[in-house]
Chains A and B, each alone.
Chain A
């Protein structure tokens, strides 16, 4: 690790002020990506702004027909929350599939989606549920938030404070793990809310999380695995590495989408 100045602001406003003043500063939420990267000296931010002393950034609550989760809420808290388990069980389950127990007790939802790792789970949930990302400045729809691998719509000095999820009628997440890292080699989140169908894919795309319009169209006719029978997506634009070729990833998108729909309607694929 390189030496850095450690800031511990008490409010989001102070944190944003520090960010604005120090262009190379990094926010420390759960630190499950940032700290390993710093330890390997792959990152060396001169300023690190710790979010843990800021009150009101973690917590889970239902408000009307949506579920709001504070940015500093850990994966473990989401996983074990009776409120989440009741409102969006697939989201609670997804949180329990992230990393390992140590990561889940430290890592946070805000940190995960701000990082937008192309193999992370939460971006699939945000896009697959049509979440709204709330920052100190504005509300951003998930469809507009994830702009590419490790990049988001966040502006300098903009800080995620909450994520708001509308409650779906049916939803499920299927994850096929990279054996080594346990990130998603491919993860598919499907949901149905009224007439809105979403199919969001993480891990597979060379450009990060994305929706599959052809699958969504097919599922609009009937929300059942059969509607996706024989469907897959083109290998073009898929990520390709030693863990999975573009063809394999494209194939898995179809398999996992069918399994996710089956899980969402309570059947086996």
Chain B
């Protein structure tokens, strides 16, 4: 291993600019003549828009335009779409309601954009926005997914009776019934997976610009996938032909999924820029982000697990209602279906699984993928069932897991996935050692002496990452392929530019992609730059989400590097007057086998461009290669997290006092970055388990609309984290990578709730497990610390 190659904990090249404030985020960019957009949003969860009077607003100082859904429709700007088709059990397609970028006739959630004011300054736009007079007829609203299908619930979209988008299922219901009939024990749980607000540190932003001479549009946008944004805005929304639209995602400050989607505001910024003939900037305020960024999770589930007399799992069934909010966001339909039910086998051999999912509209912010996307929800169902099953049957939770682990690979689950490699017992064993599981009883007594209730909880999770084989997802309804592209451009001086269709918004790609190329080419990491996030530079790419950039994006890079090496060997053969087959490439040097003749990397690069040593008929000049890589399978990162908590029975406060994470991500490019990803994921998972939760009142108002009421995890929620790894190589990609970006957020919630319920002696505890919720649960069990 070289000091900067694969496996080296190289410090991140991009951090200097990020931590010294010299990055370039969308809001740092200002275009000549730029105007500002301010959105007028619905204060009502559900209302008919009877009329909009823009006269007073348009007369305010500095106002360039006041635009509404009527102008949008007149300009034939298309609706936002959901790009993954799901069919119901009865074969009918999902009920996708129209989603105009500005509400036309009806507002469906608090925050739904109804009009936009374009002003010379933001303050002027904002002042004028207050003068837009909208006459609403307020309608009854529904926010709770469990209530949306009930008789008498307000009907949100005509296309979807009973607010039902689809009624989907996966697995064999009859076979599961048979398995349950033979069961010795059945564990049953009602589970709410709480709604989360993503809250990336950089709020969303967009600048639209139109060049009337060239007829071209440019969009600077906080997106995780600029090419997908361009495709959707061109092909579906019809703003501009694809070749006349450039999308630039500059430095982006966190996404966690919420910046995958194509949102109304960026469409409006582009459209308004053409209308007013000026670049138009929009930057979300934090309060606006709460009402305008797609939320995550929000499932209501009943789940059951059947065991035989020895504790072997016989079957699992689950019925989930998934809240998709007021409109179907870009990938919303796939999250509670193919990213959820396909993971219900967990790390276990489960012969039969059946899952039904009803997706519903409610008068809330749209819900879509958020770090883990479906897989945290699945893991929470499986890992709660297993833990509670162990308690009910009086078995050790680790032992019960071990008994049921998948041990032979490949393993076909009953829910589509084919696990390719793993060693679940190895990560469990290592985690139990690191967590000193044997010493838990002693620690519990010590806590009791301090008046505290101590509990321990496991989460042995699995996820499907490296998203995804295009043919497979196509057969499941995806509107896109999920391959990735890379291009390697070698300059005459030997420095290298890597262009990737992946996008970094905090993951450190500028370092890790360079590490892969540095290792392969034997050149210093500083001679390599990584280019991403601009549709004019990178030809096409699918972006970053689903822990895919290493497994898929770097695989494309490896393919492109293969081609570079092959071409460079041809150049070197001419330079060294040897047969191409005799050229060896190692540590940045081309040599002729069995001789002392060699050429350095830089000389070969130069010769590729000056082309003095070969004729153009024999070999094309230049050294630039591209590749598309389509994965053959998902990857399956897995691991074991163990959480230990101390509960204060008087206040209900739960302190996480110990955390062990042992993950198997396959081959690791940069262990420091991977550890950081694990830390961040755990923090988000702890946030979901302990404190985060979007709350709507009965009128559909978001009660948790700011950080005064919506609690993000803080440093003092986290104990010191013990992080370790076990490695089984991923067999399906050239580097053996599985992916690490979502693991912590997937594993953590179940570990926390398993630990708290162990401490307090009841399974009746919903997330977030706030002090008040834990105290209320304890009022029923009256469990007090037992020091004896």
Interface residues of A (CB under 8 A from B): 1-2, 40-41, 176, 179-181, 242-245, 248, 251-252, 255
Once the chains bind, are B711 and A179 in contact (CB under 8 Å)?
Answer: yes
Does B440 interact with chain A (Cβ within 8 Å)?
A: no
Once the chains bind, are B772 and A243 in contact (CB under 8 Å)?
Answer: yes
A180: B residues at CB distance < 8 A: 691, 704, 707-712
Does B92 interact with chain A (Cβ within 8 Å)?
A: no
**Interface residue from A176, A242, A245, A251 paired with B695 (Cβ < 8 Å):** A242
For chain B, the bracket of interface size reads 20 to 34
- 14 additional contacts (CB under 8 A) given A1-B123, A180-B708: A176-B651, A176-B771, A179-B691, A179-B770, A180-B691, A180-B707, A180-B710, A180-B711, A181-B707, A242-B704, A242-B709, A243-B709, A244-B772, A255-B651
Question: Please, how many angstroms separate the alpha-carbon atoms of A255 and B123 in the complex?
Answer: 48
Closest to A259 in B: B650
B545: A residues at CB distance < 8 A: none
Does B287 interact with chain A (Cβ within 8 Å)?
A: yes
A-B contact pairs, 16 of them (CB 8 A): A2-B127, A176-B771, A179-B770, A180-B691, A181-B707, A181-B708, A181-B709, A242-B704, A243-B709, A243-B772, A244-B772, A245-B772, A248-B772, A252-B651, A255-B650, A255-B651
Closest to A255 in B: B650
Given contacts A179-B770, A248-B772, A255-B650, are A242 and B710 in contact (CB under 8 A)?
no
Interchain nearest-CB distance for A121 vs B (Å): 16
Question: Please, how many angstroms separate the alpha-carbon atoms of A2 and B708 in the complex?
Answer: 22
Does B56 interact with chain A (Cβ within 8 Å)?
A: no
The 10 closest A-B pairs by CB, nearest first: A180-B711, A179-B711, A181-B708, A255-B650, A248-B772, A179-B691, A244-B772, A180-B709, A242-B695, A242-B703
B703: A residues at CB distance < 8 A: 242
Interchain nearest-CB distance for B750 vs A (Å): 21
B771: A residues at CB distance < 8 A: 176, 179
Question: Please, how many angstroms separate the alpha-carbon atoms of A2 and B129 in the complex?
Answer: 13
Closest to A100 in B: B714
B650: A residues at CB distance < 8 A: 255
Question: Please, how many angstroms separate the alpha-carbon atoms of A244 and B708 in the complex?
Answer: 14
Once the chains bind, are B775 and A248 in contact (CB under 8 Å)?
Answer: yes
Interface residues of B (CB under 8 A from A): 123, 126-127, 287, 650-653, 690-691, 695, 703-704, 707-712, 770-772, 775-776
Closest to A179 in B: B711
B287: A residues at CB distance < 8 A: 40
Question: Please, how many angstroms separate the alpha-carbon atoms of A148 and B298 in the complex?
Answer: 38
A2: B residues at CB distance < 8 A: 127
Interchain nearest-CB distance for A141 vs B (Å): 31
Interchain nearest-CB distance for A223 vs B (Å): 20
Question: Please, how many angstroms separate the alpha-carbon atoms of A121 and B567 in the complex?
Answer: 71
Once the chains bind, are B775 and A251 in contact (CB under 8 Å)?
Answer: yes
Interchain nearest-CB distance for B689 vs A (Å): 13
Interchain nearest-CB distance for B773 vs A (Å): 10
B695: A residues at CB distance < 8 A: 242
Question: Please, how many angstroms separate the alpha-carbon atoms of A2 and B771 in the complex?
Answer: 39
Question: Which secondary structure characterizes the binding site on chain A?
Answer: loop
Closest to B770 in A: A179
Q: Which of B703, B704, B709 has the most CB of A within 10 A?
A: B709
Question: Please, how many angstroms separate the alpha-carbon atoms of A40 and B290 in the complex?
Answer: 14
Question: Please, how many angstroms separate the alpha-carbon atoms of A176 and B708 in the complex?
Answer: 15
Interchain nearest-CB distance for B194 vs A (Å): 12
A245: B residues at CB distance < 8 A: 772, 776
B775: A residues at CB distance < 8 A: 248, 251
Question: Please, how many angstroms separate the alpha-carbon atoms of A251 and B779 in the complex?
Answer: 11
Interchain nearest-CB distance for A17 vs B (Å): 30
Question: Please, how many angstroms separate the alpha-carbon atoms of A1 and B775 in the complex?
Answer: 41
B709: A residues at CB distance < 8 A: 180-181, 242-243
A244: B residues at CB distance < 8 A: 772
Closest to B717 in A: A179
Closest to B690 in A: A179
Question: Please, how many angstroms separate the alpha-carbon atoms of A244 and B691 in the complex?
Answer: 13
Once the chains bind, are A248 and B776 in contact (CB under 8 Å)?
Answer: yes
Interchain nearest-CB distance for B553 vs A (Å): 37
Q: Which of A2, A176, A248, A255 has the most CB of B within 10 A?
A: A248
A252: B residues at CB distance < 8 A: 651
Interchain nearest-CB distance for B290 vs A (Å): 12
Question: Please, how many angstroms separate the alpha-carbon atoms of A242 and B653 in the complex?
Answer: 16
Question: Please, how many angstroms separate the alpha-carbon atoms of A242 and B772 in the complex?
Answer: 9
Q: Which of B126, B707, B770 has the most CB of A within 10 A?
A: B770
Question: Please, how many angstroms separate the alpha-carbon atoms of A176 and B772 in the complex?
Answer: 11
Question: Please, how many angstroms separate the alpha-carbon atoms of A179 and B690 in the complex?
Answer: 10
Question: Please, how many angstroms separate the alpha-carbon atoms of A41 and B287 in the complex?
Answer: 12
Interchain nearest-CB distance for B285 vs A (Å): 9
Question: Please, how many angstroms separate the alpha-carbon atoms of A1 and B126 in the complex?
Answer: 9
Question: Please, how many angstroms separate the alpha-carbon atoms of A176 and B652 in the complex?
Answer: 11
Closest to A243 in B: B772
Question: Please, how many angstroms separate the alpha-carbon atoms of A230 and B174 in the complex?
Answer: 56
B707: A residues at CB distance < 8 A: 180-181
Interchain nearest-CB distance for B103 vs A (Å): 22
Interchain nearest-CB distance for A243 vs B (Å): 7
A242: B residues at CB distance < 8 A: 695, 703-704, 709
Closest to B691 in A: A179
Closest to A183 in B: B708
Interchain nearest-CB distance for A242 vs B (Å): 5
Question: Please, how many angstroms separate the alpha-carbon atoms of A248 and B127 in the complex?
Answer: 42
Closest to B712 in A: A180
Question: Please, how many angstroms separate the alpha-carbon atoms of A181 and B772 in the complex?
Answer: 15
Closest to B126 in A: A41
Question: Please, how many angstroms separate the alpha-carbon atoms of A59 and B533 in the complex?
Answer: 54
A251: B residues at CB distance < 8 A: 775
B123: A residues at CB distance < 8 A: 1
Interchain nearest-CB distance for B284 vs A (Å): 14
Question: Please, how many angstroms separate the alpha-carbon atoms of A43 and B601 in the complex?
Answer: 65
A41: B residues at CB distance < 8 A: 126
Question: Please, how many angstroms separate the alpha-carbon atoms of A118 and B690 in the complex?
Answer: 25
Interchain nearest-CB distance for B62 vs A (Å): 13
A181: B residues at CB distance < 8 A: 707-709
Question: Please, how many angstroms separate the alpha-carbon atoms of A1 and B776 in the complex?
Answer: 41
Interchain nearest-CB distance for A231 vs B (Å): 13
Interchain nearest-CB distance for A204 vs B (Å): 13
Closest to B711 in A: A180
Closest to B713 in A: A179
Interchain nearest-CB distance for B125 vs A (Å): 13
Closest to A40 in B: B287
Question: Please, how many angstroms separate the alpha-carbon atoms of A163 and B174 in the complex?
Answer: 75
B127: A residues at CB distance < 8 A: 2
Question: Please, how many angstroms separate the alpha-carbon atoms of A123 and B776 in the complex?
Answer: 29
Interchain nearest-CB distance for A108 vs B (Å): 20
Interchain nearest-CB distance for B241 vs A (Å): 40
B712: A residues at CB distance < 8 A: 180
Closest to A39 in B: B285
Interchain nearest-CB distance for B704 vs A (Å): 7
